Amino acid sequence: MHPSLQSNQGIALYIHWPFCLAKCPYCDFNSHVTKTIPQDDYAKALLQELKTALALTHNRILTSIFFGGGTPSLMAPTTVQQLIECATKNLPVADQLEITLEANPTSVENQKLKDFQQAGVNRISLGIQSLNPVALKALGREHTVGQAIEALSLAKKLFHRVSFDLIYAREGQTLSQWETELDEALALANDHLSLYQLTIESGTLFAKQYQQGKLHLPDEITSSELLQMTDSVTNRHGLAAYEISNYAKPGSESKHNLAYWRYQDYIGIGPGAHGRVTIDHNLYATERYKNPQKWLISVQENGHALCHQELLSCMDKAYEMLLMGLRLTEGVKASLFEERCGIPILDAINVSMLTALIEEDYLLWDQTYLKTTAKGKIRLNAILEALLK
Ligand SMILES: C[S@@+](CC[C@H](N)C(=O)[O-])C[C@H]1O[C@@H](n2cnc3c(N)ncnc32)[C@H](O)[C@@H]1O
Ligand code: SF4
């Protein structure tokens, strides 16, 4: 690894906790179920890996911390506290440092919310997934609707900033069923919601059932209608879509996730965590061992479990910045693109294709921002493929 770093940009920190109580049938995140979680070993190793990473980023301003998973609400609150203390003692900290923890709303974890707040967490993201008991069961969740609502009301008492996740475009779900569920969710919501369309990820139980014709998803037209309705209902309730799946009151957007989508630097530690870190004016992609046991041994032996570090080329960065930024309602800012990628945005893309995509109402370009239209948002991968030279 390179010894020094010359950048005063802010930096975000992602900490991955790889354990869950059960594996949900739709999920391909790096999450594992074990009889007993070796809490102490993982706590020590996460702290060690954090210290190693921070030694390379000492002059950066820490803008956010995100405990993701897996199920980080299964972590011991003291571990969360130690990690927060370690990061905030070793880096200068931005005003209103955002510290988010993803929590599952089972009763055991609900009892820990206060401890997480005392550990320094100031934003909670609850994985509610559905307010419909039948759907919750079909999604293989370990909690009930009642527990989810209880977790939410407790979280709202303890934290100013609370978000929750729902999964829609589920099998058989009609527009009017989703509208009712969404209205109910918005009545309960605080300042932020993440609303994901169910996607079939390879290697999951849902993928197997889908291939066997045992699971069906809404067709493309229905999905697009569901998305449009989601945007208009959330808007009616004062939450604006600021990213394809994320909705917030103005000013309550997730700073941490915005750092990813605006293609800013972030450190990623823990099994399988990715990072994007500027070192000596070069941007590196970093990756840690994905297998928790392999990750643990590597940290114990080497102080970190970095398994891949790659210098990103100008076109790598252009691709990634467009991939992330075109998800945002604000789009990609041309000046930031040039600063980050080293070339003007119009030099990185196929301009005649851009013209065609604008004419076909997939993209908007006003010389300052490049953004997707509603129609373009659901065709992002195809747009990128066409756009990049
Ligand atoms: C890191 S995951 C899970 C966090 C937490 N362990 C939980 O389950 O609540 C973050 C979110 O991604 C969403 N998600 C995961 N897999 C998905 C899929 N296949 N389709 C749509 N949304 C998905 C879920 O809403 C989930 O809460
Ligand atoms: S959705 Fe959450 S709880 Fe379920 S397996 Fe994935 S990370 Fe674990």
Chosen domain end from 260, 281, 314 = 260
88 and 237 housed in the same domain: yes
H or E element at residue 308: strand 306-311
Q: Render pLDDT for 228-258 as a digit per residue (tens, 0 to 9).
A: 999 999 999 999 999 999 999 999 999 999 9
Q: Render pLDDT for 171-213 as a digit per residue (tens, 0 to 9).
A: 999 999 999 999 999 999 999 999 999 999 999 999 999 999 9
pLDDT of 8 reads 58
Q: Is residue 267 part of a domain?
A: no
95 and 205 housed in the same domain: yes
- Measured in angstroms, how far is the CA atom of residue 31 from the centroid of ligand 1? 11
Structure tokens given for 109: 């974890």
Longest CA–CA span in the chain (Å) reads: 58
**Is a pLDDT exceeding 90 seen at residue 2?**
no
Taking the CA of residue 70 as reference, the ligand 1 atom at the shortest distance is 6
> What CATH code is carried by the domain that includes residue 337?
1.10.10
Nearest of 292, 248, 253 to residue 270 by alpha carbon = 292
Q: Which of 17, 19, 28, 31 to mutate to test the pocket of ligand 2 (most atoms within 8 A of CB)?
A: 31
52 and 184 housed in the same domain: yes
Structure tokens given for 235: 């808007």
Q: Residue 303's CB: how many other CB atoms inside 10 A?
A: 15
Q: Render pLDDT for 13-22 as a digit per residue (tens, 0 to 9).
A: 999 999 999 9
Q: Is residue 317 part of a domain?
A: no
Q: What is the domain extent for residue 370? A: 326-389
pLDDT of 59 reads 84
109 and 230 housed in the same domain: yes
**Ligand 2: lining residues by beta carbon, under 6 Å:** 20, 23-24, 27, 29, 31, 69-71, 104, 127
**Is a pLDDT exceeding 70 seen at residue 5?**
no
H or E element at residue 240: strand 240-243
Q: Is residue 76 part of a domain?
A: yes
Q: What angle do CA 82, 18, 84 make, to 5 degrees?
A: 20
Q: Residue whose CA is closest, atom 2 of ligand 2?
A: 70
33 and 113 housed in the same domain: yes
363 and 237 housed in the same domain: no
Burial 176-197 (b: 16+ CB within 10 A, else e): eebeebbeebbebbbbbbbbeb
How many whole angstroms separate alpha carbon 188 and alpha carbon 80?
27
pLDDT of 225 reads 94
Q: Residue 249's CB: how many other CB atoms inside 10 A?
A: 14
Nearest of 123, 113, 51, 117 to residue 87 by alpha carbon = 51
104 lines ligand 1 (CB under 6 A): yes
> What CATH code is carried by the domain that includes residue 221?
3.80.30.20
